[in-house]
C-alpha cells in the first residue's frame, strides 16, 4: 500500500558562457540597434520577483532566481531536471530514482519529510505537491517560518494539468521558455501516438486490466484516473468502470475477461507476469491464453512529469504491439 500511494508522487543545468576576443567586434555590431546604441540581451533574473498562484490558491512571491531547490516528490524532481535545473537541487524524496544523478543528492524523507534536514540545506525554494500537502500542513508551515519559499505544485489528473505543473515550476525558476519548449515537445510526441492510435478501428479496440498491486490485495485504477485517460488515449478500454483507485475481486476480473493485463509492480515482485499467469482460474482469461500479460515501468506511467508521454508509448506497445512496433 505504501508504494500505491507513492505512485501518486509520483529534471542538469547547462549554462555555457563563450567569450572570444576575436569575435567581440562582430558581436558588438550584431547587438547594435538602428540608433547605433548597443542592445543588451535581457537576463533571466529580470523575470523576478514573480508571483505564482500555487495549487492551494496561495499567491507565492519568489523574489530572486532560486539557487537551491528541495523537491518533496519524484514527479517534481523529474520536471526540475527536465528543465535543466539539476545542479540547483540539494534535496530529494527517498523514492527519487531518476535521473541517475538523484542518487547522489541528500534524501529528505518521503511522505513524512525531515523539516530540520531541509532547513539545514538552506534552500531558496521547496517544491511541495498537492497530493500530500494536506498531510504536511505543519511541516510546510515550519519551512515557511524559517524563511523558505514553498510552492505547492498541482496534482495533475490529465495531460493539460501536467503541462501546467511544468510551466509553474519553470516560471518559479526563471526558465519559462524552457518549460514551454518541453511542453511543446511532449505535446508533439503525444499527437504522434494519438495519430497512430487512429489506425485502430472501434471493433478492434482491446479491453485492458491494469494491476498496480498483486494478489492477495489486487488494486487497480478505474474511471477518473490518469491511467484511464492514458488507456483512452491509445484507444483501449479499461475493464474497470468504477471510479478511482480500488481493490478488485479476482472473480470479477475473470468474469470481465480482459484482452490484455498490464502490471506495474515489477519493481518489487520477482516475476510479475508469472504472478498473474499462475493464478488458479486465470488460465482461461484471454490475456493469459494469448500471452498478453505485460509488466511496464511503474514510474513512467505514474509520475506526472516529462517521461509520462514515453510511458503512454510503452503502454501502447504493450496493448497493441502490432501497431506500435
Per-residue H/E/C for the chain: CHHHHHCCCCCCCCCCCCCCHHHHHHHHHHCECCCCCECCCCCHHHHCCEEEECCCCCEEEECCCCCCEEECCHHHHHHHHHCCCHHHEEEECCCCCCCHHHHHCEECECCCECHHHHHHCCCCEEEEEHHHHCCCHHHHHHHHHCCCEEEEECCCCCHHHHHHHHHHHHHHCCCHHHHHHHHHHHHHHHHHHHHHHCCCCHHHCCEEEEECECCCCCEEECECCHHHHHHHHCCCEECCCCECEEECCHHHHHHHCCCEEEECCCCCCCCHHHHHHCCCCCCCCHHHHCCCEEECCHHHHHCCCCCHHHHHHHHHHHHCCCCCC
Counted residue by residue, the chain has a size of 325
> Cα–Cα distance between 101 and 92 in angstroms, integer?
11
* CATH (one of 3.40.50.720, 3.40.50.1980, 2.40.160.10, 3.40.50.10860) for 44-183: 3.40.50.1980
- Mean pLDDT across the chain, nearest whole number? 88
CA distance 139 to 10: 20
* CATH class held by domain 199-319: alpha beta
pLDDT per residue over 195-217, tens digit each?
999 999 999 999 999 999 999 99
Q: Residue 21: is its pLDDT beyond 60?
A: no
Closest CA to 126 of 135, 141, 134, 176: 141
- pLDDT value at residue 111: 87
Each residue's pLDDT tens digit, 46-67: 679 999 999 999 999 999 999 9
Is the pLDDT at 292 greater than 80, yes or no? yes
Q: Which residue has the higher pLDDT, 9 or 315?
A: 315
Burial grade of 312 (CB within 10 A; 0-12, 13-18, 19 or more)? buried
pLDDT reading at 30 higher than 70: no
Rounded Cα distance between 4 and 219, Å, is 8
Triad 162, 172, 4: Cα angle to 5°? 40
Quote the pTM value. Answer: 0.84
Q: What is the pLDDT of residues 84-94, one digit of tens each?
A: 999 999 999 99
Which residue intervals of the chain bear CATH 3.40.50.1980? 44-183, 199-319
Amino acid at each position: 500500500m505504501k508504494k500505491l500511494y507513492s505512485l501518486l508522487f509520483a529534471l542538469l543545468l547547462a549554462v555555457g558562457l563563450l567569450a572570444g576576443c576575436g569575435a567581440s567586434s562582430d558581436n558588438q555590431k550584431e547587438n547594435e540597434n538602428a540608433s547605433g546604441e548597443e542592445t543588451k540581451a535581457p537576463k533571466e533574473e529580470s523575470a523576478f520577483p514573480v508571483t505564482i498562484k500555487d495549487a492551494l490558491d496561495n499567491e507565492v512571491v519568489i523574489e530572486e532566481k532560486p539557487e537551491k531547490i528541495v523537491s518533496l516528490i519524484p514527479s517534481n524532481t523529474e520536471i526540475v531536471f527536465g528543465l535543466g535545473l539539476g545542479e540547483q537541487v540539494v534535496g530529494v524524496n527517498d523514492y527519487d530514482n531518476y535521473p541517475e544523478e538523484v542518487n547522489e543528492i541528500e534524501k529528505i524523507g518521503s511522505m513524512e519529510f525531515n523539516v530540520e534536514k531541509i532547513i539545514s540545506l538552506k534552500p531558496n525554494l521547496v517544491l511541495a505537491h498537492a497530493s500530500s500537502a494536506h498531510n504536511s500542513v505543519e511541516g510546510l508551515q515550519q519551512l515557511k517560518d524559517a524563511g523558505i519559499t514553498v510552492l505547492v505544485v498541482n496534482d495533475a489528473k490529465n495531460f493539460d494539468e501536467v503541462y501546467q505543473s511544468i510551466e509553474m515550476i519553470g516560471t518559479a525558476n526563471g526558465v519559462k521558455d524552457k518549460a514551454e519548449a518541453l511542453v511543446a515537445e511532449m505535446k508533439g510526441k503525444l499527437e504522434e501516438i494519438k495519430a497512430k492510435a487512429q489506425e485502430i478501428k472501434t471493433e478492434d479496440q482491446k479491453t485492458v486490466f491494469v494491476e498496480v498491486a498483486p494478489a492477495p490485495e489486487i488494486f487497480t485504477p478505474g474511471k477518473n484516473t490518469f491511467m484511464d485517460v492514458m488507456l483512452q488515449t491509445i484507444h483501449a478500454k479499461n475493464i474497470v468502470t468504477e471510479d478511482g483507485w480500488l481493490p478488485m475481486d479476482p472473480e470479477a476480473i475473470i468474469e470481465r475477461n480482459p484482452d490484455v493485463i498490464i502490471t506495474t509492480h515489477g519493481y518489487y515482485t520477482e516475476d510479475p507476469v508469472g504472478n498473474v499467469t499462475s493464478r488458479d482460474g486465470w488460465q482461461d482469461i484471454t490475456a493469459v491464453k494469448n500471452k498478453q500479460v505485460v509488466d511496464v515501468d511503474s514510474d513512467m506511467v505514474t509520475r506526472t512529469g516529462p517521461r509520462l508521454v514515453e510511458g503512454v508509448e510503452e503502454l501502447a506497445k504493450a496493448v497493441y504491439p502490432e501497431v506500435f512496433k
